[in-house]
């Protein structure tokens, strides 16, 4: 029967050939003679073998020390058969801790691209996959998007296995489970589902695994690629899936009965289901004294309301509800606005949109000049715009307060930005009535969101009294002790 020769499109599931020359030719054919493929033929106990790997993906020192030297030192009779050599290596030699036996080209190609070295033996239709990864990775560093004062300064990195260890170190329990598999048809990205086995149903885990495997994208380069497929919430500015760069936050979520997803190549982990109140919690809350943590938490909630509604309420009050403002303040505002050439609503929109431009420029520019953008944008342009009479001081002040308030809750930056602009337009056109309509629509929208059966507004609505000790306030640990409530125990959770 003619042997099936695999190619770069059809190689998954194709069994390995027995002949070493056939195996090498097949692999070269699949990889189209890629320049970074390293092939090292050698003879062990009279049997022809070859070690293949990708350049830059393996640690040469580890490979030499752990694989090449022991193999070269194998003492077997010269008439050793291929299968005897295979069994000797399999049963009597460790070589590396991360070791697997591959039987098809799909597994071999995936592993060699993941930094494994593959040992092929002439006459055996199996191969050893030896984990000797040595590609360059970023070291564990402070998370860039979730700063804190008293908590750990470790953040996730792009390597999923390193991230797995960061979580494992913090929860040393056999109940912490990791499920590693590949997704995406072209790029075979490694992902890991993390969960506590006693707090999450296997039905949910299996459902998530199926969803991930069904993602039709050819490649997954960031958490945003997978999020839409995991998010049950549609047509909403709020998401039912949250991200975190911190392993300690991830562990806290896992203890609450949620599921984490680590994706190779991105330092952000996804956590499902997300709750709205999560956006107002930081790890520092649990390191501060309860009274101060409660105060700061209430500040965050107030900051959210200020960030979203202050420009809209100001615009509405100045245009449609002047009777709301006291005489002294009204005269000052009238004097300032009298010289402005633009309508108030247009002024507010221009200032807010200009802030978005400055923010985006600050993010995209190299760090060496990024700071200069803040100075130029904020001080120079803002100040000269006011001096030139294009925008007014009160409007600039209101927008600056709103923008600064939004920095308090960076996780909600996207919905805050959208809702802020909508409230300005609604306030400018229909006054506080318009702002109220926007607020109503947003409130009903977020209250209707559920992800994996858990309402996003839990435990506030539906109210779960036992869990309220850590929502608006932060009770002390002695009082929280014994109130460990997982998300599945919240009122209103659909367990089906």
Partner 1 sequence: MKNYQLSGSPKVGFVQLALIVMICRIFTLMTHIPLIRDGFSFSEQLLALAISSVVAALLIIPFVIFYSRYDCGIVDCIYGRSRLWGNIAAAVYLLYLILACVTDVSEFSSFIGARFDFGADECIIALILIIVCMYCAYCGAEGICRSGGAVMVLFLVMVAFMVGGSCEKISAEHIRCEMSAGNVISAVYDDMAGGTELIVLCLMGKFTRNRYRCGAYLSLAGRLIIAAGITLSVILVLGDYAYICGYPFLDTGSAAGIHFLQRIDAVYMIVWSLAAVLTISLKIFLGADILRTILPKRLPMVLIFSVGAYILFLLDIRGSGMLMLILLALGGAAVPICQLLRKE
Residues that bind partner 1 (CB under 8 A): 232-236, 317, 320-321, 323-326, 429-437, 439-441, 443-445, 447-450, 455, 457, 460-463, 491-492, 494, 496
**Could you tell me how many helices (H) and strands (E) the chain has, helices first?**
17, 12
Do you know the residue count of the chain?
A: 496
**DSSP per residue, 281-315:** --GGGGTS-HHHHHHHHHHHHHHHHHHHHHHHHHH
Q: How many CB atoms lie within 10 A of CB 190?
A: 19
Neighbour count for residue 492 (Cβ, 10 Å): 15
Contacts of 394 (CB under 8 A, 6+ apart): 314, 332, 333, 336, 337
Q: How many CB atoms lie within 10 A of CB 218?
A: 9
Tokens of 477: 């640990």
Edge-to-edge strand order for the sheet containing 47-54?
37-44, 47-54, 116-121, 127-131, 99-102
User: Which H/E stretch holds residue 427?
Assistant: helix 413-448
By beta-carbon proximity to partner 1, the closer residue of 184 and 451 is 451
Do residues 45 and 77 lie in contact, with contact meaning Cβ atoms separated by under 8 Å?
A: yes
Eight-class DSSP state of 15: B
Closest contact distance (angstroms) between CB of 298 and partner 1 is 14
How far is the C-alpha of 246 from the C-alpha of 152, rounded, in Å?
9
Q: How far is the CB of 377 from partner 1 (least distance, A)?
A: 32
- For residue 351, the minimal CB distance to partner 1 (Å) is 23
Pairwise CA distance, residues 36 & 184, whole Å: 23
Q: Which residue has the tokens 């229909």?
A: 430
Min dist. Cβ of residue 310 to partner 1 (A): 14
Half-sphere exposure at residue 315, Cβ-oriented, CA atoms within 13 angstroms: 34
Give the DSSP H/E element, type plus range, for residue 193. Answer: strand 189-196
Cβ nearer to partner 1, comparing 42 with 440: 440
User: Minimum distance from CB of 381 to partner 1 (Å)?
Assistant: 32
CA distance to 156, 159, 164, 373, per residue, from 139 (Å): 9, 10, 14, 28
The least CB distance from residue 402 to partner 1, in Å, is 18
Shorter beta-carbon distance to partner 1: residue 175 or 305: 305
Looking at beta carbons only, is 313 or 416 nearer to partner 1? 313
- Minimum CB separation from partner 1 for residue 189, in Å? 28
For residue 180, the minimal CB distance to partner 1 (Å) is 30
Q: Tell me how far, at minimum, the Cβ of 234 lies from partner 1, in Å.
A: 6
Provide the minimum distance between the beta carbon of 326 and partner 1 in the complex, in angstroms, as a whole number.
6
Distance of CA 380 to the CA centre of its chain: 36
State the Cα–Cα distance between residues 135 and 311, nearest whole angstrom: 49
DSSP 3-state of 261: strand
Indicate the residue among 250 and 493 with the shorter CB distance to partner 1: 493
Residue (268 or 452) nearer to partner 1, CB: 452
Q: Which CB atom, from 115 or from 455, has the smaller least distance to partner 1? A: 455
Q: Rounded to the nearest whole angstrom, what is the least distance from the CB of residue 425 to partner 1 in the complex?
A: 12
Q: Which lies closer to partner 1 via its Cβ, residue 59 or residue 445?
A: 445
Cα–Cα distance for residue pair 277/269, rounded to 1 Å: 18
């Amino acid at each position: 029967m003619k042997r099936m020769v695999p190619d770069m499109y059809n190689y998954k599931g194709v069994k390995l050939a027995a002949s070493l020359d056939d195996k090498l030719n097949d692999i070269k054919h699949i990889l189209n003679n890629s320049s970074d493929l390293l092939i090292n033929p050698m003879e062990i106990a009279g049997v022809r073998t070859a070690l293949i790997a990708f350049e830059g993906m393996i640690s040469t020192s580890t490979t030499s020390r752990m694989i090449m030297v022991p193999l070269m030192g194998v003492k077997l009779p010269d008439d050793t058969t291929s299968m005897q050599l295979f069994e000797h290596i399999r049963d009597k030699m460790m070589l590396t801790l991360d070791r697997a036996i591959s039987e098809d080209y799909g597994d071999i190609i995936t592993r060699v691209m993941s930094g494994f070295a593959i040992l092929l033996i002439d006459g055996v239709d199996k191969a050893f996959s030896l984990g000797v990864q040595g590609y360059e990775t970023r070291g564990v560093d402070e998370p860039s998007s979730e700063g804190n004062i008293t908590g750990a300064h470790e953040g996730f990195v792009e390597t999923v296995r390193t991230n797995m260890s960061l979580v494992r170190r913090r929860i040393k329990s056999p109940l912490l489970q990791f499920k590693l598999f590949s997704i995406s048809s072209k790029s075979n990205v490694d992902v890991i589902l993390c969960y506590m086995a006693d707090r999450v149903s296997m039905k949910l885990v299996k459902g998530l695994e199926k969803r991930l495997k069904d993602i039709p994208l050819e490649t997954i380069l960031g958490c945003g690629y997978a999020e839409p497929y995991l998010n049950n919430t549609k047509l909403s500015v709020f998401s039912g899936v949250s991200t975190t760069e911190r392993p300690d936050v991830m562990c806290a979520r896992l203890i609450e009965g949620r599921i984490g997803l680590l994706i190779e190549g991105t330092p952000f982990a996804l956590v499902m289901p997300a709750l709205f109140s999560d956006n107002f919690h930081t790890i520092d809350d649990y390191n501060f004294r309860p009274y101060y943590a409660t105060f700061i938490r209430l500040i965050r909630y107030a900051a959210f309301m200020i960030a979203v509604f202050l420009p809209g309420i100001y615009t509405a009050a100045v245009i449609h509800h002047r009777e709301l403002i006291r005489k002294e303040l009204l005269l000052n505002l009238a004097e300032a606005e009298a010289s402005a050439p633009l309508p108030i609503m247009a002024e507010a929109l221009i200032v807010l949109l200009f802030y978005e431009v400055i923010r985006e420029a600050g993010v995209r520019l190299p760090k060496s000049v990024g700071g200069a953008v803040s100075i130029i944008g904020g001080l120079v342009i803002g100040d000269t715009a006011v001096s030139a009479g294009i925008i007014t001081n009160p409007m600039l002040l209101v927008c600056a307060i709103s923008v600064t308030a939004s920095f308090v809750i960076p996780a909600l930056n996207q919905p805050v930005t959208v809702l802020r602009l909508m409230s300005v337009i609604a306030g400018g056109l229909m006054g506080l009535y318009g702002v109220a309509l926007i607020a109503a629509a947003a409130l009903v929208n977020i209250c209707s969101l559920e992800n994996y059966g858990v309402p996003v507004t839990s435990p506030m609505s539906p109210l779960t009294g036992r869990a309220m000790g850590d929502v608006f306030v932060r009770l002390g640990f002695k009082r929280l002790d014994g109130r460990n409530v997982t998300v599945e125990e919240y009122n209103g959770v659909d367990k089906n």
